[in-house]
Amino acid sequence: MTTTTPVSSTSGPTPPEGVADPTQAHIDLTDAHAAHNYHPLPVVLASGDGAWVTDVEGRRYLDCLAGYSALNFGHSHPRLVARAAEQLQRLTLTSRAFFNDQLGPFAKALSELTGKDVVLPMNSGAEAVETAIKVTRKWGYQVKGVAPGTARIITMRGNFHGRTTTIVGFSDDDVATADFGPFTPGFVGVPYGDIDAVAAAIDDATVAVLFEPIQGEGGVVVPPEGFLRALRELCTERNVLMVADEIQSGLARTGCTFACDHEDVVPDVYVLGKALGGGLYPVSAIAADHDVLDVVRPGTHGSTFGGNPLAAAIGHEVVQLLATGEFQERAWVLGARLEEGLRGMVGAGLVGVRARGLWAGVDVDPALLTGREVCEGLMRHGILAKDTHGSTVRFAPPLVATESDIDLLVVALRTVLEVARR
């Protein structure tokens, strides 16, 4: 494995005149006027190109978070930027009170990518999950015949589907739920990857099983082999909708177009977002067949910005990028390289590694460092990553990263761990 060092640069924005420390100035300004619902690393980014970003002082970093997989195609991908710029000069918003010339082509392309009849576009990933909840409940009442007001949806413990009041209500993360109740009823949680627990939880009022094929926020947690196939069979047998939240795991991140593809499974509903907007614009959607999505009628659901021409143009370009298979292949190749490097550190600072495609979660020896401390150390070596749940760190570089970029990440992590072990 080759050893590389971060590329230094003096390019980038000029610090404001008279400001001795522009990084701290931006941090102070943000802390003073923006709500403290995040705890960022002390870096202020100003530009990005491909897998790399540059801060306000000209320092460059390899982005190994990629906007929680929203930036699968990297920063400022030329095709996406060009398509967005073109559409910006033509038409950006009509609302769905009128047709526009971009939504139809986008919907057709996304339907073909997912193999589903129709799509329902929204904006954020959380909105797409809320849409799936509404649609599956309505399906339960109108198609399955569940008694009014009794629909139940099975969810998985350790899940992360967003932060609306409904969604956090079925989270088992105390930070996400504390002081936000009362919560929406109608959800029952079971252990992730436990097909027997899912089967036991299904009753006559169950309309759907909502799950992540891989739990991203949980630390890239991959279910047991065969779980997705067993879940597909169970949902079919019990007349329950299988709803796959592929917001982080989908669109080439794991080496396949969708993470469900690893077990040749097709859910009843795909929930998509993040990379669907190419890192340029919030675009999300659910995709399903007519027997599910036809329960939605005019007035029952919508969004001022959902399906707008700019979003549709960008989303269509994203689908065309995915249609080549190039990004799925890169995730396989780069992911194998990353996983090999990470597994070599098990017993030397790491106690666990989980990977699927170019997406990995590592568990750091908690006696050595916290996840936050690891990310702070990586930042000093030109790597940006994100911790979760104590001593777990996630890596999701853009799929346009190079082999040397992956080597740089591995070398930097090994260095951080070695320093801590001395």
| Dihedral, CA of residue 395, residue 398, residue 402 and residue 405, to nearest 10 | -40
Residue 361 and residue 396 in contact, taking contact as beta carbons nearer than 8 Å? no
β-bridge pairing 383-384 and 60-63: parallel
If you count them, how many residues does the chain have?
Answer: 422
Q: Which of 315, 224, 223 is nearest to 272 (CA)?
A: 315
- DSSP for residue 16: P
- Which residues lie closer than 8 Å to 95 by C-beta, 6 or more apart? 304, 308
What does the alpha-carbon distance between residue 215 and residue 132 come to, in Å, rounded to a whole number?
A: 18
| Dihedral, CA of residue 214, residue 220, residue 225 and residue 230, to nearest 10 | -20
What does the alpha-carbon distance between residue 220 and residue 414 come to, in Å, rounded to a whole number?
A: 20
Q: State whether the Cα torsion 158-161-164-167 is positive or negative.
A: negative
**Three-class HEC string of 245-278:** ECCCCCCCCCCCCCHHHHHCCCCCEEEECHHHHC
What does the alpha-carbon distance between residue 239 and residue 252 come to, in Å, rounded to a whole number?
A: 29
Active site residues: 160, 245, 274
Full DSSP string of 143-208: II-PPTT--EEEEETT-----SHHHHTT---HHHHTT--S--S-EEEE-TT-HHHHHHH--TTEEE
Instruction: Indicate the SS3 state at residue 186.
Output: coil
What does the alpha-carbon distance between residue 269 and residue 210 come to, in Å, rounded to a whole number?
A: 9
Token representation of residue 345:
């550190």
What does the alpha-carbon distance between residue 371 and residue 364 come to, in Å, rounded to a whole number?
A: 7
What does the alpha-carbon distance between residue 353 and residue 361 come to, in Å, rounded to a whole number?
A: 6
CB neighbours (10 Å) of residue 415?
Answer: 15
What does the alpha-carbon distance between residue 371 and residue 394 come to, in Å, rounded to a whole number?
A: 9
What does the alpha-carbon distance between residue 79 and residue 82 come to, in Å, rounded to a whole number?
A: 5
Token representation of residue 375:
């990310």
